[in-house]
Amino acid sequence: MSVNTPVAGTGGDKYVPMEERTGESSVVFFTRDLSAEGFKKIYDKVSSVLTGKVAVKLHTGEAEGPNILPRPWVKELFDTRLKDAAIIETNTYYEGDRYTTDVHRKTLETNGWTFCDVDITDDEGVAALPVKGGKWFKEMHVGKSMLDYDSLLVLTHFKGHTQGGFGGSNKNIGIGCADGRIGKRDIHTYPGSDDMWGIREEELMERISESTKATIDHFASHVCYINTMRNMSVSCDCEGPFAEPVVTPDVGILASLDILAVDNACVDLIYNLPDGGGDAMRERIETRHGLRQLSYMKELGMGNDRYTLIDIDNGDAVITAAEAVKDVKPVWIPDLYNTFRGRNRAK
């Protein structure tokens, strides 16, 4: 009997503009208000699906990472909207500041994640979730205690990524909810290989997306997504203070009930930034074939790549991606929440 070997798709280096996409459309909310108030306003647009015990998946970052979400903004959201929620994280696959629970807890303290419960979900084991319709996986291993929650808020720092091209909600879940020893290994490493990062380009994007699908299928209709386009280094927060200096201008915050729509909208805003403002991110996304994240999520039925963009700063007006960023200047200006400098240039 022949065994079918999966083959990765193609086109991860080719951007598809909105006018060339087909299918149904979802709603994505947008605000330029990069502040605690902006967080709360856009959260209120999508939070009705959150019920029961709420998990908040965000990237808490390596120690002294300069680009992680501002802790005061997140604290305000917890104090006013998420009093009984917990941040969820997993330990890392690589040896670093979050490799074991003990060092991970020290890093959480260093980075200021001390105002709420933080559940390192693979501390006491793993659970296997089915991957429906996957070609690389039949199941994905996640942190065991993630299954103790009823709803999931995906609170993402949108940025570049050394291997994924970009890190949106898909990467936040697909890598961030996979446990540190089995799930992340299965995404990144071929069995028996000495190269722990041997899986790259389109195949990596597909494996990340299948991992994400396992988690969002588990939470079903009780999951929503918020992507913050601020301090967008081409490097992930996994690189901590060694992340490449930020050159891409800050844009705003987006939210949706559709993971593909919100990630695609962020990519569209990058591609529509005027005067070359998005060049660094575009180069990172295309050279890593990161756009395969989007096309494969669509193939898996995870969401829609067409969307209506709602400007909540202007009476919920419908706008295009180009209109959303038309006034953004091609320069990054640090704000007062840059607690750790890292390699960011002084302004």
Q: How many CB atoms lie within 10 A of CB 112?
A: 17
Q: Out of 3.40.50, 2.60.40, 1.20.120, 2.50.20, select the CATH number for domain 28-325.
A: 3.40.50
The answer to whether 241 touches 340, Cβ cutoff 8 Å, is yes
Question: Strand 25-31 vs strand 306-311: parallel, antiparallel, or unpaired?
Answer: parallel
Digit-coded pLDDT (tens) for 215-257: 999 999 999 999 999 999 999 999 999 999 999 999 999 999 9
Domain boundaries along the sequence of the chain? 28-325
Q: Give me the sign of the Cα torsion angle 313, 319, 321, 325.
A: negative
The answer to whether 109 touches 183, Cβ cutoff 8 Å, is no
The answer to whether 168 touches 72, Cβ cutoff 8 Å, is no
CA dihedral 81, 85, 90, 91 (to 10 degrees): 90
CA distance 292 to 203: 9
- For residue 338, the model assigns a pLDDT of 82
Digit-coded pLDDT (tens) for 176-208: 999 999 999 999 999 999 999 999 999 999 999
Which residues, in sequence order, are CB contacts of 342 under 8 Å at separation 6+?
A: 64, 65, 66, 67, 240, 241, 242, 243, 245
Q: How many CB atoms lie within 10 A of CB 130?
A: 14
pTM: 0.97
Average pLDDT along the chain, 347 residues, taken 10 residues at a time: 78 98 98 98 98 98 96 98 98 96 98 98 98 98 98 98 98 98 98 97 98 98 98 96 96 99 99 98 98 98 98 98 98 89 70
- For residue 2, the model assigns a pLDDT of 41
Digit-coded pLDDT (tens) for 50-77: 999 999 999 999 999 999 999 999 999 9
- For residue 74, the model assigns a pLDDT of 98
The answer to whether 46 touches 257, Cβ cutoff 8 Å, is yes
Only one residue has tokens 């501390």, namely 123
Residue 43, amino acid: Y
CA distance 46 to 42: 7
- For residue 77, the model assigns a pLDDT of 98
Q: Is 101 exposed, middle or buried (0-12, 13-18, 19+ CB in 10 A)?
A: middle
